[in-house]
Structure 1
Amino acid sequence: MTEHAQQPVQPSRRTVVAGAAAGVAATAATVATASPATAGTGGSTARTTKLSILGTTDLHGNVYNWDYFKNAEFDDAQHNDIGVAKVKTVIDRERAARSNPVLVLDAGDTIQGTPLAYYYAKVQPIGGSTIHPMARAMNLIGYDAAALGNHEFNYGIPLLRTFESQLNFPLLGANAVDPVTKRPVFPPYVIKRVKVDRGPDLTVGILGLTNPGIAIWDKANVEGKMEFPGLVEQAKKFVPELKAKGCDVVIVSAHSGDITGSSYGDALPYVENASTLVAQEVADVDAILVGHAHLDIPNREVSSKVTPDKKVVLCEPFFWGKRVAVFDLELERKGNRWSITSITSDTLPTNTAEADPKVAAAVQEQHATVVKYVNSVVGTSAVAMSAARSVVEDVPIIDFVNFVQADAVKAGLTGADASLPVLSEAAPFNRAASFPAGNVTIRDVAGLYIYDNTLLGVKLTGAQVKDYLEYSMRYFKQVSGPGPFTTAAVTNAVYNGATTPDYNFDSVAGLDAPLTYDVDIAQPIGSRVTNLQYDGAAIDPAQEFVLAINNYRQSGGGGFPHVSTAPVVYNRQNEIRQLLIDWVVAHGEIDPTDFASADWKLVSGGTPITIT
């Protein structure tokens, strides 16, 4: 049969859910027709039609193919490119290549992750005439909806609500709920009604799900204001509602990885990475745009446990705009409804695309402001320091973080706590971080501490410090012999089905006296920390310490023992990155002789190992 062009329809209009913007309960949804930009010009007959879904996730404040920490174009070993400007070019190309309707979605983590995002949250917060650069860029693409990511909450709910108000599309969060009513405080879903030539409208429901870990990771921002129940539990409530409203297709945009498990262990009753569980356990879900895990998953089919022979298609398009997801659906008419006959998916690289000139122009002034900001000199370094080997040895640049954190906590302790010895934990967030010998800029420091964590102090015993270190050493793979080993051969071990990331490998250092220990990675997990000493003597299990710790870790991020329930003796809501910058400004020079020492080492059977 001859395909006919779709008739033009009016641009979509977003209906604000009653009360949602004010943070009260709401379960209504946006209902809109596809706009001319997304409707396409055909792709249907009286009996069949097609639909495409394009998607992004974990853009993390990247508009340009630019590395603010290196002050250069972004590049990696695979020569990926990043940024919304390139994403738009790919999306426009894919729209033009299709004669059928196209919808565009995002799976969250948008407003945190680069100095560009930080600047317009903390230095010059958005509001009034100051529009978030990600809002400018994403509005030009013409997204139909985006799920909330966990990092959307890093700067507090008021800033998130301001960002939401600047978007031309809804932020969806079916499992971000009011603590009292248990109803969503963001729109749970949007329904798009697409005109089909010589046939009934194609009705598409888009459900947005965010991550339960927000309750832990941003506890200070959300406690008592929002709760985050499980993805499966909320999907089971709202997918039937979408079907009851006539949706032929149900797409889930989920900020939750596909490898089932949680970095926070059993600290919450809801799974962090639950996209596969949604596919398996929730009837009538057709496809899931996956986010959060920073993986490239072109196509994964998951068998439903509730609908025989049904396969749910999952696709995750990497992160930072390195890929664009594409789902292509074919449908056939059954009476006045449409039924899916096939779904395929893939991820498309952006590194062959030119930056879209409209996006580039829209954000150029803000980009230039931030480049100038991050390249301003704040002090000097006596020697060059690098984090390249921070995952296998005690290096001065990580000692610097521990020193500044411990020093700040020590200065803020009062009463009897002021006499307690202070320790500090730090993880290698960015192996590429370095300080040059000579001038140190804001971007050098920001490159070392890439997260917007705040500093706390908690009280632990010596025995609890030992437990904490043993838990951290899950990071290492079990090997025997002195080596030599490559870094990859001993780090990022798989534990409980998930790869342990660098940011969940904590070393601990002492401020008032050295805390020293060996890590015997020939031993099984739980028995690796040996020769643990404080001030040259075996640590007293009963001695009390204050541990300087970031809010992510203290609130349960990573599932480390004791710290989430330990007494908090210091909490001034100071951002650790800013504390590092302020320390450099105040002291002028970073000299490792003031704070650095090799207090821990990797061994096998007690013999130091060689890492090449």
Structure 2
Amino acid sequence: MPHRTSHPPAPATSAQATLRVLATSDVHVNLRSYDYFADRPTTSGGLARIATLVRQQRRDADNSILVDNGDFLQGSLLGDYIAYERDKNDPAPHPAIAAMNRMSYDAVGLGNHEFNFGLDFLSKSLADARFPVLCSNVFSPPEAARHRTFEQTLMPPFTILTRDICCEGGSIEPLRIGIFSVLPTQMMIWDRRHVLGHVETHDIVETARTLVPKIRAEGADIVIALCHSGLGDADYRRNMEHAALPLAAVSGIDAMVCGHSHLQFPGPDHASSEHVNPNNGTICGTPAVMPGFGGNVLGQIDLNLLREGGIWRVKSHESQLLPTAVRGADHAPQALVEEDTEILACTEEAHKQTLTYLRRPVGAITRPVHSYFSLLGTDASVQMVTEAQKHHLAQLTKGTQWEGLPVLSAAAPFKTGGRGGPENYTYLPSGTLALGNLADLYVFPNMFRAVQVNGAQLAGWLERAAGVFQTITQSREDQMLLDPDFPSYNFDVIDGVTYQIDITRPPRFNERGRTANAGSERILNLCYNGAPVRANDKFLIATNSFRAGGGGDFPGAEGDTVVIRSDQTSRQIVLDYIQSGLVNDLQHREIWSFAPAGGAQLLFDTSPQARDHMEEIAQFSPEDLGDLENGFARLRLTL
């Protein structure tokens, strides 16, 4: 009798199935529900709560995958501790990687913040990953970017997951899921000290246009884009930082995970337009999610798939976000799920080490410092940073060609509510300061830089910052003061000069730094030592590596004006200043103020704790309008 070779059964001629895509993005090492800056537990966010949601959603789905869209290695004090303080020979895996291994991620893409601590740290951290780590538009060696040689990317440019999926009727069919990952090309500017000469980036959309057909040719039935980028404009331009919208229009992409901007999608964070449907969660008709930041929500896309003639296609879809908490009747966050005990266990040692690190005493201050009113005028939380930077720069210029130039200092308030919620403010009590307090004041691990600018660039720098305010009408009541799309970390205050901001005039630049009203001038009475600043005057500005390298697109800070580089972090410079005792001689000075606006009434949202400090803004005749449903306190101000 002839020998018969057994073969797997042929795939059914047609089949239907649902694939659940679960997604995180911008977790920023928020592994547990703990605010390390304030040194207290929280009731929302964190990967441990996300893990509980993931377990629930996996249980309720026949077929699912879990992906992450980047920015998972930087962003909390735990992440800083691992990068800067933990013994480099410690064999323990990075706690973020340990947690993601425990959650059985199927694929992970890199975000721009993965490069903040250098390529060696990135490589060492990823060595323990038990999932594919992807990055499609970062090439090594750098020249490979010109030819989009995908065999020479820093990380694999894509992966194809083969999954046997349960179909309607009970059959099991193979599905090949192609996944690729892209990030903003601006990473080369923001982290140039780590990446220049080692890697190069390529445009997000052009990368996808070349890569998606290649992934299809390799046998992928469907393609998912991990897009570490915000939605942005519909009109495509090369090297857009926020490029998700034109990326969604690239043929062959079946679903997208977006991020980077820390917003949520679907939902009210994005307005409805011809290309964006924030109700059903589509961008250019492509199903998408943008799962917030810090592990506050889990993204979920259910792809209802139909296979006919051997080809799978998306028949229908549903996108949604699953929150870890909601605000209760008292407007405080209330947890919807508990933290996963396995994630707590595998991050416990790093958590304990971080608490010891952040509780280390580093100095003292004689009065409380907060950021509740940082967007209303000069405040101590910003002035402490600007004074520390000026002091450091003055030491660096002694005996150099730069000695004698006017020294200015630029800093922005990092925590002013906004997308982070009503708990997202700096508060340093008087008395002993711990390292965690200092990190609360200066959140990011930037390096110190100094740039040389002329008076015209200085004025342009301030015009860019003044875009944080809406254009208001004189004498009109109840106008919102702040542009909700403008991040406070781009509201630079420049110490060493004085000026006014006229918000009755439109901003020269929009929230992304693009010229919106070319002839508009909001900055009035810009003076140095009481004399008007002239266009050709020369200044040194102390700032940080992000800003000096082009972060935020500020005139005078585009990477080519840097004259002094320090190997000190900005946070260390503030620490040295506090430990010197000079901080207690700090006298409040009015650096900037609003120009008169005819008694216009403005609405300003801040922390409920700001009520204890209302005397600081008496010049605005503040009226307390109570708490909003989102937990913020609303004030009415008269300008």
The TM-score normalised by the length of structure 2 is 0.80
State the one-letter code of the partner of 1:381. I
Match of 2:215 in 1: 242
Q: Report the counterpart of residue 19 of structure 1 in structure 2.
A: none
Which of 452, 455, 459 is 1:459 aligned to?
452
State the Cα deviation string for residues 252-307 of structure 1 (Å, max 9, x = none). 11101123389xxx9x9411111111111x111010011111112137999899xx
- Corresponding letter in the other structure for 1:519: I
Query: Is 1:509 aligned with 2:495?
Result: yes
Conservation of the 8 A alpha-carbon contact between 1:377 and 1:441:
yes
Quick check: 1:460–1:566 contact (8 Å CA) kept in 2? Answer: no
- Give the letter for the 1:212 counterpart: T
Q: Secondary structure at the match of 2:223?
A: strand
Contact residue 455 and residue 536 of structure 2 kept, 8 A: yes
CA distance in 1: counterparts of 2:370 and 2:234, whole angstroms: 33
Q: Deviations over 1:448-507 (max 9, x none)?
A: 111111111111122321221122212211113378867xx22226xxxxx221011111
Tell me which residue corresponds to 1:492.
483
Out of 223, 226, 235, which is 2:196 matched to? 223
Distance 1:348 1:110, change over 3 A: same
Match in the other structure for 1:16: none
- Whole-Å separation in 2 of the counterparts to 1:337 and 1:149: 32
2:390 maps to 1:427: no
* Residue 228 (structure 2) aligned to one of 228, 233, 255: 255
Q: Deviations over 1:543-591 (max 9, x none)?
A: 221100111111111110122255422111311012112222233x732
Tell me which of 239, 247, 267 is aligned to 1:270: 239
AA aligned to 1:573 is D
Give me the whole-angstrom Cα distance separating, in 1, the residues matched to 2:429 and 2:567.
29
**Which residue of structure 1 aligns with residue 441 of structure 2?**
448
Q: Which moves more between the two structures, 414-423 or 333-342?
A: 333-342
| Residue in 2 that maps onto 1:519 | 501
2:379, 2:476 → 1: CA distance?
20
What is the alpha-carbon distance in structure 2 between the residues aligned to residue 48 and residue 530 of structure 1?
A: 65
Q: CA deviation at 1:516?
A: 1.0
1:319 to 290, 293, 306: 293
Compared with structure 1, are the counterparts of its residues 126 and 276 closer, same or farther at alpha carbon in structure 2 (3 Å cutoff)?
farther
Tell me the amino acid that sits aligned with residue 115 of structure 1: L
Look up the equivalent residue of 1:423 and give its one-letter code.
L
Moved more, 602-611 or 178-187: 602-611
Aligned equivalent of 2:159: 190
Residue of structure 1 equivalent to 2:627? none
Change (3 A) 1:381 1:558: same
In the other structure, the counterpart of 2:69 is 107
Match of 2:512 in 1: none
Cα distance in 1, alignment partners of residues 454 and 274 from structure 2: 48
The count of aligned residue pairs is 543
Answer with 231-240 or 195-204: which moved more: 195-204
More moved, 333-342 vs 556-565: 333-342
- Tell me the percent identity: 30
Contact 1:484 1:609 (C-alpha < 8 Å) held by counterparts: no
Is 1:159 paired with 2:150? no
Query: What do residues 174-197 of structure 1 show as CA deviations (whole Å, max 9, x unaligned)?
Result: 111131122322111110111246
Say yes or no: does 1:94 pair with 2:57: yes
Q: Do the aligned residues in 1 keep the contact of 2:20 with 2:301 (CA within 8 Å)?
A: yes
Separation of aligned partners in 2, 1:606 and 1:600: 18
Q: Distance in 2 between matches of 1:400 and 1:294?
A: 27
Instruction: Note if contact 2:26-2:69 (Cα within 8 Å) is conserved in structure 1.
Output: yes
Counterpart pick for 1:416 among 401, 414, 421: 401
Which secondary structure state, in structure 2, belongs to the residue aligned with residue 105 of structure 1? Answer: strand
Instruction: Please tell me whether the aligned partners of residues 58 and 321 of structure 1 are also in contact (alpha carbons under 8 angstroms).
Output: yes
The partner residue of 1:544 within 538, 553, 560 is 538
Residue 220 of structure 1 deviates from its aligned partner by 1.4
Q: Structure 2 unaligned runs (5+)?
A: 1-11, 277-282, 326-335, 417-424, 508-519, 600-618, 623-636
Partner of 1:18: none
| Structure 1 residues 429 and 408: CA distance shift in structure 2, 3 A | same
For 1:602 and 1:415, the matched residues in 2 are separated by 37
* 1:205 matched residue in structure 2: 178
Give 1:523's aligned amino acid: R
The one-letter amino acid of 1:577's match is: R
Whether contact under 8 Å (1:279, 1:304) holds in the other structure is no
- In structure 2, the CA distance between the partners of 1:527 and 1:229, relative to structure 1 (3 Å rule), is same
1:67 to 35, 42, 51: 35
Matched, 1:359 2:376: no
| 3-state SS, counterpart of residue 468 of structure 1 | helix
Equivalent AA in structure 1 for residue 314 of structure 2: I
What do you get for the CA RMSD once the two structures are aligned? 2.6
Q: Is contact 2:297–2:321 with CA below 8 Å preserved after alignment?
A: yes
1:558 maps to which of 543, 547, 552: 552
Taking the aligned partners of 2:393 and 2:523, their CA distance within structure 1 comes to 26
How do 1:34-53 and structure 2 match up within 5 A? 47-53=15-21
Structure 1 residue 123: Cα displacement: 1.1
Moved more, 395-404 or 310-319: 310-319
Name the CA distance, whole Å, in 1 between partners of 2:562 and 2:260.
Answer: 30
Choose from 367, 381, 386 the match for 1:397: 381
- Structure 1: gaps (5+ residues): 1-43, 76-80, 494-498
Structure 2 CA distance for partners of 1:463 and 1:259, relative to 1, 3 Å:
closer
Q: Distance in 2 between matches of 1:476 and 1:140?
A: 44
Per mean C-alpha deviation after superposition, the further-off stretch among 291-300 and 312-321 is: 291-300
CA distance in 1, matches of 2:598, 2:78: 46
